[in-house]
Amino acid sequence: MTETPMTRRNFGRLAAAPVLLGALPALSAGPARAAAQGPAAPSGPTGATVGAQAVRDAMRRAAVFMDERVSYYGAYVWSYLPDLSLTWGEMEARRTMCWVQPPGTPSVGHGLLDAYHATGDETFLRAAERTGLALVRAQLPVGGWNYIHDFAGEGSLREWYDTVGANGWRLEEFQHYYGNATFDDAGTSSAAQLILRLYLERRNPVFKASLHRVIDFMLRAQLRGGPADGGWPQRFPAFSGSVTHTPWPDQRPSWLPSDVGHGMEDGDYARHVTFNDDVLGENIKFLLMCASSLGRRDLNRPVLRAMACLHRLQQPGPQAGWGLQHLTRAANGRPAGAPAGARSYEPRALATHTTQTNVRQLFHYFRLTGDHAYLRRVPEALAWLESCRLTEEQKQENPLLRNSTHPTFVELGTNRARFVHRFGSNIRNGAYYYDHDHRNTLGHYSGGRSVDVAGLAKTHDELMAMSRAEVAEMRAASPLAPGRPHALPRYFGFRDLELTDLFRDAPLTPPEVTDAQAEALVAGLGAGDHWLSPIGTTTNPYRGPAPATPYAGTAYMSKHVGDIYDTSPYNPSDPPAESPYVPRESEAGITTSVWTANMARLTAYTAVR
């Protein structure tokens, strides 16, 4: 996925309370049910302390509003203008669409179910079930989910891909319709987790059937044989017509160096073992949830195979890291298991942030199994990370790198940083390329990362120092250990759940929320029963196919959007310095990221009272 301010790592974060700017006008009922009738809810606290009941009432109002006024058949995108005339997921969405990719539909469903667990109010459970049923409708026949679903039908979805999606210059995953499911951005796994939680509440047979379908899907998609055994591709099943290269315009700017690399070096990412956005870790998490809560010990073996895959694909020293994707089979003289270049702005390279994520995964695998083999090569990975830090000169000469410690990509063999750039103004006259120049890097895909090598080394040393008794105690609580099924964590929205949160009797302490913070959230909800906040992004409307007229300027190199034909989202306060763009403030609207964050705070406040 292309990085945006609202990627899945914002899911469950606790944001500051937004300011209520106004109430929604009346809407027709349509697929979103008409608002419930009844006495008007209070607009906010009247005393110095809000009180637990007032918080519960506010939570209920916020949930009912989202369910009955904002959702479409219980499903959600990411953000909405107050009158719902324009809606967005990662791109502009139609009112009939939902976004499965967090912070979309599953994220709201988890927030509703968390609120039910904190209050016992069936209103939240009914809304969560409605969201779950929307996901059942969006579930593909193969058993997984795409990033998005259109309740108007496949024809409408294809038309969206052919227009809005096809002209999103930086959003390659939406430029082509494959009709298959994705593991990217925790789309399938976050939806599957919500279906699992809803099934465990009341054993609804509809959710049971959906759950079995996604478990079977995940097992069928798991790769078999060779170095890739146990891993997962980005998408499944494979699509025979998937893109294998990206165009390289015949007419290019005169300032473009002649020796730059470009295109998909190893074909579409859908066919490779994927570590991007922690695909493997998210799938392991879901399978462990099923193993521990349903007693499905047959899922232990697929989990262990996945863990072995990550361990196996660590590259040999001295570059003992991982790439975003790895080859599933030998190709072009390169062996299976080698790092792969699979998108035009993700070159064949090792990735420092992915290496950090995978080292942390190895720590979890040790905690799950007590097997020190998972820790054996961690020092090699840390030594490599120490060898490829950004220089002070690189950070000073590129403001986009100043808060980073490492380049995102490191070239195989030379250990030099690879940086990605682009020329042109849209998807037809422009292209991405990569070289060793650290200046003018992309704005939407960071050329640098913050990697905590010292913190990783500290954790490694602590785990290595554990006594045999401590390791045995840890293994006994592992979700991989034999024993009776045990409950999942009650709350999924306080923070991103780690594998260790699935251990038997693992504590999950709600974050502290003060009376003043809760009062501010309730007051911000106001009489309109919703929070308004700056959306933060906007998009150009689809105007037709982008023109191929060459553009030799540099105004779009480090921006989130190209010319007015580019449908990629961008920050309206920081547009390209080209006409007709002018900086303007973000519009206020309703966002699922703010709603889930604020509900998580109120849920945490309620859970301890």
> How is 579-594 classified by DSSP, letter by letter?
TT----PPPEEEEHHH
Question: Is 241 a residue whose pLDDT tops 90?
Answer: no
Return the percent helix, strand and coil in the chain, to nearest 5.
40, 10, 50
Q: In the predicted model, what is the mean pLDDT of residues 35-49?
A: 37
Q: In the predicted model, what is the mean pLDDT of residues 577-589?
A: 97
Question: Is 94 a residue whose pLDDT tops 70?
Answer: yes
Amino acid at 419: F
Question: Is 133 a residue whose pLDDT tops 90?
Answer: yes
Residue 393 lies in a domain: yes
Q: How many CB atoms lie within 10 A of CB 179?
A: 16
Residue 41 lies in a domain: no
Residue 42 lies in a domain: no
Question: Is 324 a residue whose pLDDT tops 80?
Answer: yes
Question: Is 281 a residue whose pLDDT tops 70?
Answer: yes
Q: How many CB atoms lie within 10 A of CB 600?
A: 27
Q: In the predicted model, what is the mean pLDDT of residues 199-213?
A: 98
Residue 461 lies in a domain: yes
First to last CA, the chain: 40
Residue 44 lies in a domain: no
The total number of structural domains that make up the chain: 1
Give the pLDDT band of residue 271 (cuts 50, 70, 90): confident
**pLDDT for the residue 262:** 95
234 and 269 Cβ atoms separated by less than 8 Å: yes
User: How far is Cα 210 from Cα 216, in angstroms, rounded to an integer?
Assistant: 10
**pLDDT for the residue 134:** 98
Residue 45 lies in a domain: no
Output phi, psi for 53, to 5 deg: -65, -40
Q: In the predicted model, what is the mean pLDDT of residues 465-480?
A: 97
**pLDDT for the residue 408:** 98
Q: Calculate the CA 535 to chain-centre distance.
A: 18
Question: Is 329 a residue whose pLDDT tops 80?
Answer: yes
User: How far is Cα 407 from Cα 355, in angstroms, rounded to an integer?
Assistant: 12
* Domain containing residue 518: CATH number: 1.50.10.20
Question: Which residue is it, tokens 């478990």?
Answer: 215
**pLDDT for the residue 270:** 78
User: How far is Cα 68 from Cα 30, in angstroms, rounded to an integer?
Assistant: 10
**pLDDT for the residue 245:** 86
Strand order through the sheet with 273-274: 273-274, 325-326, 339-340
Question: Is 33 a residue whose pLDDT tops 90?
Answer: no
C-alpha torsion 435→440→442→443, nearest 10:
160
Q: In the predicted model, what is the mean pLDDT of residues 407-418?
A: 98
Q: If we measure between CA atoms, which residue out of 300, 96, 100, 309 comes closest to residue 192?
A: 100
Each residue of 98-120: pLDDT tens digit? 999 999 999 999 999 999 999 99
Question: Is 227 a residue whose pLDDT tops 50?
Answer: yes
Give the pLDDT band of residue 48 (cuts 50, 70, 90): very low
User: How far is Cα 266 from Cα 263, in angstroms, rounded to an integer?
Assistant: 9
Q: If we measure between CA atoms, which residue out of 274, 345, 356 comes closest to residue 321?
A: 356
Residue 3 lies in a domain: no
Give the pLDDT band of residue 332 (cuts 50, 70, 90): confident
Amino acid at 86: L
Domain that holds residue 374: 8-36+50-607
Question: Is 295 a residue whose pLDDT tops 80?
Answer: yes
Output phi, psi for 533, to 5 deg: -155, 160
Q: In the predicted model, what is the mean pLDDT of residues 481-491?
A: 95
3-state class of 602 per DSSP?
A: helix
User: How far is Cα 36 from Cα 266, in angstroms, rounded to an integer?
Assistant: 54
Q: Which long-range contacts (CB under 8 A, 24 or more apart) does 206-214 make?
A: 206/133, 206/136, 207/132, 207/136, 210/135, 210/136, 210/139, 211/290, 213/139, 213/143, 214/139, 214/143, 214/144, 214/188
Question: Is 7 a residue whose pLDDT tops 70?
Answer: no
Average pLDDT taken over every residue of the chain: 92
421 and 440 Cβ atoms separated by less than 8 Å: yes
Q: In the predicted model, what is the mean pLDDT of residues 347-358?
A: 98
Q: In the predicted model, what is the mean pLDDT of residues 259-266?
A: 93
Give the pLDDT band of residue 49 (cuts 50, 70, 90): low
Amino acid at 44: G
**pLDDT for the residue 268:** 82
Question: Which residue is it, tokens 């779950």?
Answer: 132
User: How far is Cα 284 from Cα 528, in angstroms, rounded to an integer?
Assistant: 41
Q: In the predicted model, what is the mean pLDDT of residues 164-185?
A: 96
Q: In the predicted model, what is the mean pLDDT of residues 458-475?
A: 98
Q: How many CB atoms lie within 10 A of CB 580?
A: 7
Range name among 240-254, 428-442, 468-482, 528-542 with the lowest pLDDT average: 240-254
Percent of the chain scored above 70 by pLDDT? 92
Tokens coding 450: 């913050």
Residue 78 lies in a domain: yes
Half-sphere exposure of 322 (CA within 13 A, CB side): 28
**pLDDT for the residue 548:** 96
Range name among 56-60, 123-127, 269-273, 588-592 with the lowest pLDDT average: 269-273
